[in-house]
Amino acid sequence: MVGVPTAIAILAFEPPHGATALLALLLLAAAAAGFREPTPLWYIERGWAVLLAGGFAVSTALAPTRPILDRSLLTVAIAGATVAAMGAVRPELLVGLDWQVADQFERTLARYDFGWLGGPPAEAAVRQFAALWQALYPAMLVLASVSALAVTVYLLGRVRGEESALPPLGRFRFSEHLVWVLAAGLVLVALPVGAWADRAGGNIVTVMGGLYVLRGTAVLVWLGASVISSGWIIAAWTLAALVLYPVTMGATLVVGVSDTWLDLRSRLGVAGNKE
């Protein structure tokens, strides 16, 4: 998801220099690893990467000055709409995709011996967690794709010789209107509509939750950089955040959602640029 979009973007938007063209070809060659004995998931992974590459080229051509996250979300929307259209024409494709993912989870779990973990109770708990993870794999794919496209933007910037290919984390924010997407996901989860609504809502909430956790982290990073001058104190707070990650995740989520209305960085003295 990094190599293919980066290679296509270099070939589409960069001058045809030998070094950059060679880099693009090397990235495509790395993405083609395993072509001699491809599995169905091999084709699925590369197919999604190709859709991301095409969507990123379109979004960059249409809105080259838009923030990175806006272009990344548009890219994922284009790729997702393409998959949905293919599924509408051939529903068995989406059924087969879901089956392949479920089979991958099952084969992964089959490698482990749960006896030393506590036997059947431990296995039941792990399988319950795996079932949740399996239901949310579209959301995980969206978040992974957005992250991969950020790496793509960084690599493109380095190819162009930009010193700051990505803006500082402390300036990260996105459109306040996306909070309504989070609200729609919560409504789908809460309403007794059916299993499809639960899964769709859960995936929407997971994606938006991940983005708001990142936004909350950006607020805390900006606050720490503005208030704390000692590197040791920052390191101690970072270590505590990692150790107490369940509390940290909840706190950063609350901060991220609150920043939608309160604009904490502006209220505390500095207005962050949207990125």
Kindly state the average pLDDT of the residues 238-248. Answer: 74
How do residues 204-215 score in pLDDT, each as one tens digit? 999 999 999 999
More confident residue, 204 or 130: 204
| Cα 186 from Cα 204, distance rounded (Å) | 8
- pLDDT on residue 200: 93
Q: What's the Rg (C-alpha) of the chain? A: 21
| Cα 140 from Cα 103, distance rounded (Å) | 17
Return mean pLDDT, the chain. 86
- pLDDT on residue 49: 95
Count of beta carbons in the 10 Å neighbourhood of residue 185? 22
Kindly state the average pLDDT of the residues 32-44. Answer: 86
- Answer whether 53's CB lies under 8 Å from 7's CB: yes
Tokens of 265: 């960085």
Q: What percent of the chain has pLDDT over 90?
A: 41
pLDDT at 75 over 90: yes
The residue extents of the domains of the chain are: 1-166, 169-275
pLDDT at 231 over 70: no
pLDDT at 227 over 70: no
What 8-state DSSP symbol labels residue 39? -
- pLDDT on residue 183: 94
pTM of the shown model: 0.87
Count of beta carbons in the 10 Å neighbourhood of residue 159? 19
Q: What are phi and psi of 269, to 5 degrees?
A: 125, -20
230 pLDDT band (50/70/90 cuts)? Answer: low
How do residues 84-97 score in pLDDT, each as one tens digit? 999 999 988 888 88
Kindly state the average pLDDT of the residues 213-241. Answer: 76
Residues 6+ apart with CB under 8 A from 270: 222, 226
- pLDDT on residue 271: 44
Q: What is the helix, strand, coil percentage profile of the chain, to 5?
A: 80, 0, 20
248 pLDDT band (50/70/90 cuts)? Answer: confident
| Cα 192 from Cα 194, distance rounded (Å) | 6
- pLDDT on residue 120: 78
| Cα 27 from Cα 94, distance rounded (Å) | 28
| Cα 24 from Cα 109, distance rounded (Å) | 36
How do residues 148-185 score in pLDDT, each as one tens digit? 999 999 999 888 888 777 888 888 989 899 999 999 99
- pLDDT on residue 212: 95
| Cα 263 from Cα 102, distance rounded (Å) | 41
- pLDDT on residue 80: 94
Most confident segment among 25-39, 65-79, 124-138: 65-79
- pLDDT on residue 243: 73
